[in-house]
């Protein structure tokens, strides 16, 4: 079956709970012929907890609401100045599996960062995209990669030394169809990240494009990321 063209929708600022409810409704009602969509938005300040989240990773939420959700992953923060992209895809129709889907999401972020002269990196065992804080444009392989598994087969703990997380990924797949997605930090108030253990890692630094010296608008970053997602997520 040929996959229809991805339909992009720029939603602007929407409440997190409203966006999740709309994605769940879209996914429940879609058929084999429903075109895939890409929703791009930003949210008012909120902490969200994935399936694997532990309550003690939310340290001092203060007046920022905490919402449990059904995506994968742990705790993260959404807020103004962050581009959030929600691909609503039929993976079976597109012909690739979840692991490749996550790789393609990460690749779209990496290409978006490259557009702004920043090099994004993957860290084994820690989904999302990271940058070198001392040299954001460096293409050198991260020193901690690759790492061998322990004798008992356990994966090594990621080493975030010198890195900042600039994009988080948390997805849900239901009946081969995806929702939730990826969040890219553009120009945010980063202080709320200090009130949690981002993605379950104590002390993990979070960064945005503005702190890296890239001054661009939310609209421009949303446009670049949207184009990259449309390219990377195609069949």
Q: Find out whether the peptide bond into 182 is cis, omega within 30 degrees of 0.
A: no
Beta bridge partners of 172: 179
Give the separation between CA 206 and CA 164, rounded to whole angstroms. 5
Catalytic residue among 199, 204, 221, 229: 199
Give the separation between CA 178 and CA 191, rounded to whole angstroms. 30
For residue 140, give every residue at least 6 positions away whose Cβ sits within 8 Å of its Cβ, in sequence order, or none: none
Give the separation between CA 21 and CA 212, rounded to whole angstroms. 34
Q: Is 177 a catalytic residue?
A: no
Structure tokens at 40: 């791009």
- Please name the residue that has the structure tokens 């879209």: 26
For residue 212, give every residue at least 6 positions away whose Cβ sits within 8 Å of its Cβ, in sequence order, or none: 118, 131, 136, 166
Which of 80, 16, 15, 82 is closest to 49 using CA atoms? 16
Cα angle value 82/21/27 (rounded, 5°): 100
Active site residues: 199
């Amino acid at each position: 079956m040929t996959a229809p063209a991805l339909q992009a929708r720029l939603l602007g600022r929407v409440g997190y709970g409203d966006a999740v409810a709309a994605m769940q409704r879209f996914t429940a009602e879609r058929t084999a012929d429903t075109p895939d969509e890409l929703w791009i938005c930003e949210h008012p300040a909120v902490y969200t907890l994935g399936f694997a989240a532990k309550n003690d990773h939310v340290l001092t939420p203060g007046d920022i609401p905490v919402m449990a959700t059904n995506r994968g992953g742990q705790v993260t923060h959404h807020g103004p100045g962050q581009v959030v992209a929600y691909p609503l895809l039929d993976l079976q129709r597109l012909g690739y599996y979840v692991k490749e889907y996550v790789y393609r999401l990460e690749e779209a972020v990496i290409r978006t960062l490259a557009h702004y002269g920043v090099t994004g990196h993957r860290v084994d065992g820690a989904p999302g995209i990271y940058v070198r804080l001392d040299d954001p444009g460096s293409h050198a392989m991260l020193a901690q990669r690759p790492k061998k598994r322990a004798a008992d087969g356990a994966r090594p703990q990621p080493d975030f030394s010198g890195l900042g997380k600039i994009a988080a990924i948390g997805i849900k797949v239901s009946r081969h169809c995806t929702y939730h997605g990826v969040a890219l930090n553009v120009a945010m108030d980063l202080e709320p990240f200090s009130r949690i253990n981002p993605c379950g890692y104590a002390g993990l630094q979070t960064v945005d494009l503005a702190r890296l010296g890239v001054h661009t608008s939310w609209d421009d970053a949303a446009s670049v990321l949207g184009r990259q997602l449309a390219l990377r997520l195609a069949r």
